[in-house]
């Protein structure tokens, strides 16, 4: 009987654990990695923010340099329910968005890195603003997952996948905080 109760408690704990595994507070870099990879994780998260700044600036040269030739970006979360992505970009089509300065804002509110040697998986939430979108869809936030790989000593951006969102608001304040 005691083993049955212990097993039940263990199962309940494992089932509840994801509820407490929340993303970090805004502006917090959370390393989900062995301590010896914390420095590499911090490098990847800094690169992620620098890429966002380059996208907003329209810096196609930087984006091209730090992005893999086979880069993919899956927009929208319909795929998580068996539907098609809202939009799918490859490197060329996303470079067009960068060149046109489609994004006026990309601000990370939560970031985390899961390190696997020369591979990094990042996830978190960012707020974006695309002024050319229809009213009510210009401001948005998404939860994302991205993949990076270290190649020839440099981190390279491989993919982006929206895992929740986009969620839209009339302005930044209407989006709230995570």
CA dihedral 49, 144, 95, 115 (to 10 degrees): 60
31 falls in which pLDDT band (50, 70, 90)?
low
- Determine the Cα–Cα distance for residues 61 and 54; give it in Å rounded to an integer: 9
Q: Which domains does the chain have, with CATH numbers?
A: 29-175 (3.10.450.50)
Q: Give the CA angle between residues 23, 29, 32 to the nearest 5°.
A: 65
In this predicted model, what pLDDT tens digit does every residue of 74-100 receive, in sequence order?
999 999 999 999 999 999 999 999 999
The more confidently predicted of residues 178 and 59 is 59
The more confidently predicted of residues 178 and 93 is 93
The size of the chain, in residues, is 178
- Residue 125 pairs with which residues in a beta bridge? 110, 143
CA dihedral 60, 66, 67, 69 (to 10 degrees): 100
Q: What is the largest CA-CA distance in the chain?
A: 66
Measure CA of the first residue to CA of the last residue in the chain; give whole Å.
Answer: 43
Which are the contacts of 84, defined by CB distance < 8 A and separation ≥ 6? 78
175 falls in which pLDDT band (50, 70, 90)?
very high
């Amino acid at each position: 009987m005691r083993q049955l109760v212990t097993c039940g408690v263990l199962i309940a704990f494992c089932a509840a654990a994801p509820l407490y595994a929340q993303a970090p507070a805004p502006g917090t870099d959370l390393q989900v990695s062995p301590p010896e990879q914390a420095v590499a994780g911090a490098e990847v998260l800094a690169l992620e923010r620098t890429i966002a700044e380059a996208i907003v600036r329209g810096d196609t040269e930087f984006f091209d340099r730090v992005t893999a030739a086979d880069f993919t970006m899956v927009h929208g979360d319909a795929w998580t329910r068996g539907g098609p992505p809202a939009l799918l970009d490859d490197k060329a089509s996303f470079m067009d968005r960068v060149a046109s300065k489609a994004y006026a804002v990309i601000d990370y509110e939560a970031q985390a890195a899961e390190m696997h040697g020369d591979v990094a998986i990042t996830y978190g939430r960012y707020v974006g603003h695309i002024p050319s979108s229809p009213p009510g869809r210009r401001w948005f936030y998404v939860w994302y997952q991205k993949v990076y790989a270290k190649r020839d000593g440099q981190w390279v951006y491989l993919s982006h996948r929206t895992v929740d969102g986009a969620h839209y608001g009339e302005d930044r304040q209407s989006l709230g905080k995570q």
